[in-house]
Amino acid sequence: MLPLRSIAMAVVLFGAACADEPTRPDPLPPPVDQGVNAYVVVDNLHALPGQTVRVSVQVRSADADVKVGSYTGRLHFDAAALQYKAEVAINDGLRVANPNGAGGGEIRFAGASATGFADLTLYSATFTVKQANWTRALTLQMEELSAAKSLANLSPHLQVQRTVFAAEQVKP
């Protein structure tokens, strides 16, 4: 049986070792096993009121050969907690967004590319944080997702992640 002092020392050393490498979310979600995943990524999960955050919608496919050719979706948020500032331009394919509903907490976005998107960030915008816990109401609704060239409907194989992920740097 170990003396109580040895156990206490082991706990202190273990705690000190953990302090060197703080636990933080992975920059991106785990790899996709099957189908296609869509998710929300923010550049700073801990942004405080008054700070600017970038919120992006991204997709990943289990099959590297599958290229997204078109999509439509909606980003939902609490307009009392986040204030829309501006869309971040993505120069890949035809992309459009309708921020007219931003005052009510919704932005609609869509895109199309006959050969498929190289950048799998579907939408990206900057917001001003107005309240703490601003990520709680941040959700994604994907209405359509199709493959390039074949035009195959990817929606039946699409899983929208409910977790908001952090990224050190979100691609512009």
Residue 108 lies in a domain: yes
21 belongs to a structural domain: no
What pLDDT shows up at residue 86?
97
d(CA 17, CA 110): 46
Output the pLDDT for position 29: 63
Domain-located, residue 7 = no
Tell me the Cα Rg of the chain. Answer: 20
Residue 14 lies in a domain: no
CATH number of the domain where residue 104 is located? 2.60.40.680
Does residue 172 sit within a domain? Answer: no
Residue 170's pLDDT is 34
Look at residue 1 and tell me if it is in a domain: no
**Alpha-carbon separation of residue 148 from 18, 24, 109, 118, 135 (angstroms):** 46, 35, 18, 11, 32
Sheet holding 94-98, edge to edge: 94-98, 106-112, 68-76, 139-147
pTM, to two decimals: 0.79
Within a domain: 157: yes
Domain that residue 102 falls in = 27-166
How far is the C-alpha of 159 from the C-alpha of 92, rounded, in Å? 23
In SS3 terms, the chain reads as CCCHHHHHHHHHHHHHHHHHCCCCCCCCCCCCCCCEEEEEEECCCCCCCCCEEEEEEEEEECCCCCCEEEEEEEEECCCCCEEEEEECCCCCCEEEEEHHHHHHCEEEEEEECCCCCCCCEEEEEEEEECCCCCCCCCEEEEEEEEECCCCCECHHHEEEEEEEEECCCCCC
Number of separate domains in the chain? 1
Q: Which of 166, 168, 125 is nearest to 29 (CA)?
A: 166
Q: Give the per-residue pLDDT at 11.
A: 39
**For residue 171, is it within any domain?**
no
pLDDT along the chain (172 residues), means of 10: 45 41 46 84 94 95 89 98 97 96 98 94 97 95 95 93 73 37
